[in-house]
Amino acid sequence: MKRKILIVTERRADYSKFRPVINEIKTSKKLDYQLIVTGSHLLKEHGNTIKDIQKDGYKITAKFNMYSKNRNDSGADMATSLGNAIIYLSKIVNKLKPDIIISGFDIGANLAVAIVGAHMNIPVVHLEAGEVTGTIDEPIRHAISKFAHFHFTTNSFATERLIKMGEDKKHIYTVGNPSLDGIKKINDIPIKQLEKEFDLDLKKPFVIVMQHSVTSELNQIEKHIHQTLDAIKELNIQAIIIHGNADAGSKKISKLLKKSKIKQFETISFEKYINLLKNATALIGNSSSGKMEAPFLKIPSINIGTRQSGRPKTISVIDVSYDKNEIKKAMIKIIKNKNFLQQINKQKNIYGNGNSSKKIIRILETVDLDKIPIQKKLTY
């Protein structure tokens, strides 16, 4: 009988990382998946990205709305959504009875399923455990690790950090980032097709902008986003904005972005995003993609502010504060400094080589669940 692996996806960002894992599960003779869809995947204002999941041909085992109908743009609503997810997932998991739950990253619905799994004595594995970031993501990630029974990390620094957190090193596996696996399998879209669809001239410099809200800096959102938009305007460079997630402050950011005259999209498919990124001069903002996917593609990124603070980075990542002049200075360096670009081409990637999901599947197929203690204790 195949092991049943339960996965919950809340938004575009976690789906792009789960997708290669699900693909490998589909080819496994020992595993099957149960896919639960919630969060911004079901929101019109975030592009109804459940359609992308359906288009990819995955069976959706269940779905539920974790966000309240009259959701405001606040931390209180994020907490309510977490509570809703726990309630819904308690019923769904109890019905489906998976053998293993994969909880991912630093996202609310994945914290919820880790809490549910731990309470129901179901082994929980945390994907992308042990990393350091900013905003509310930081405590969510480490809370998931404490509810999880074993861990998949993307790099050795994260592995060492988990050990310092009191996790048993016997149950930590350094596998890399599965989103890189997805990049390797993306088909190239012809340049002319990209130029036509996105109204770009790819022979000239162009940037992708993705700037999410930082939940601990909500009173400064307007000032921060204007610094980015002003920098783009003053650089007079081609740009595409891709709107962010549904965290507190996201609605305010969306309103500010829509007032700008920069081309923007609520969401685009992973395939189109990666093709645009391959041809971009730089990625600007505070997405984890700037520290993971962009370096893998040898594309420079300008990391703004505190949201990704603490993640290991390669030379291709330029950290700046919320300051238009710093952003402009970094962009000029990227465009004009040929030595910098040569160094990027030689850099080694920190987050794996694009074979993470195969490692993950081998572990999920062979791990002895009887030897993973459901009753956790600190190791010190």
The DSSP annotation for 130-172 comes to T---STTHHHHHHHHHHH-SEEEESSHHHHHHHHHTT--GGGE
pLDDT surpassing 90 at residue 68: no
Q: Are strands 31-37 and 3-9 parallel, antiparallel or unpaired?
A: parallel
Q: How deeply is 172 buried, as exposed, middle or buried, from its count of CB atoms within 10 A (0-12, 13-18, 19+)?
A: buried
Per-residue pLDDT at 266: 92
- Tell which CATH architecture fits domain 189-346: 3-Layer(aba) Sandwich (3.40)
Query: How large a percentage of the chain has pLDDT more than 90?
Result: 93
Give me the pLDDT at residue 84, please. Answer: 97
Residue 325, pLDDT above cutoff 90: yes
- Tokens 């919820």, residue? 112
d(CA 373, CA 123): 9
Return the bridge partners of 320, or none. Answer: 304
pLDDT reading at 205 higher than 90: yes
Angle, in degrees to the nearest 10, between helices 12-27 and 270-278? 110
What tokens were used for 13?
């960002």
Task: Answer for the pair 322, 134: CB distance below 8 angstroms, yes or no.
Answer: no
Are the C-beta atoms of residues 315 and 343 closer than 8 Å to each other? yes
Structure tokens at 54: 């359906």
Asked if residue 179 has pLDDT above 90, the reply is yes
Which of the residue ranges 220-229, 247-256, 314-323 would you say has the lowest mean pLDDT?
Answer: 247-256
Note the pLDDT of residue 261. Answer: 86
Q: Which residues contact 313 (CB under 8 A, 6 or more apart)?
A: 291, 295, 303, 319, 350
Instruction: Characterize the bridge pairing of strands 3-9 and 100-104.
Output: parallel
Residues of the chain with CATH 3.40.50.2000: 3-178+354-371, 189-346
Q: How many CB atoms lie within 10 A of CB 39?
A: 28
Q: What is the pLDDT of residue 157?
A: 95
Number of Cβ within 10 Å of residue 201's Cβ equals: 9
Residue 153 has pLDDT above 90, yes or no: yes
Q: What DSSP string runs through 56-117?
A: TT----EE---S-TT--SSHHHHHHHHHHHHHHHHHHHHHH--SEEEEETT-HHHHHHHHHH
In this model, does residue 18 exceed pLDDT 90?
yes
Q: What angle do CA 273, 48, 24 make, to 5 degrees?
A: 60
| Average pLDDT taken over every residue of the chain | 96
Q: What is the pLDDT of residues 337-355, one digit of tens each?
A: 999 999 999 999 899 999 9
The structure's pTM equals 0.93
Residue 250, burial from CB neighbour count under 10 angstroms (0-12, 13-18, 19+) = buried
Interval 81-126: pLDDT, tens: 999 999 999 999 999 999 999 999 999 999 999 999 999 999 999 9
Half-sphere exposure of 112 (CA within 13 A, CB side): 27
* Nearest partner of 172 among 125, 239, 135, 211, judged by Cα: 125
In this predicted structure, the answer to whether residue 73 has a pLDDT above a threshold of 90 is no
**pLDDT for the residue 69:** 83
- List phi, psi (to 5°) of 64: -155, 155
For 235-286, write each residue's pLDDT tens digit.
999 999 999 998 999 999 999 999 998 999 999 999 999 999 999 999 999 9
What pLDDT digit, counting tens, does each position of 34-65 carry?
Answer: 999 999 999 999 999 999 999 999 999 999 99
Instruction: Establish how many alpha carbons lie within 13 A of residue 329's alpha carbon, considering only the half-sphere containing its beta carbon.
Output: 10
Buried b (16+ CB within 10 A) or exposed e, 327-365: bbebbeebbeeeeebeebeeeebbbbebebbebbbeebb
pLDDT of residue 71: 82
Look-up of token digits 């669940």: 369
CATH architecture of structural domain 3-178+354-371: 3-Layer(aba) Sandwich (3.40)
Taking phi over 0 as left and psi of -120 to 50 as alpha, with beta for the rest, 65 belongs to beta
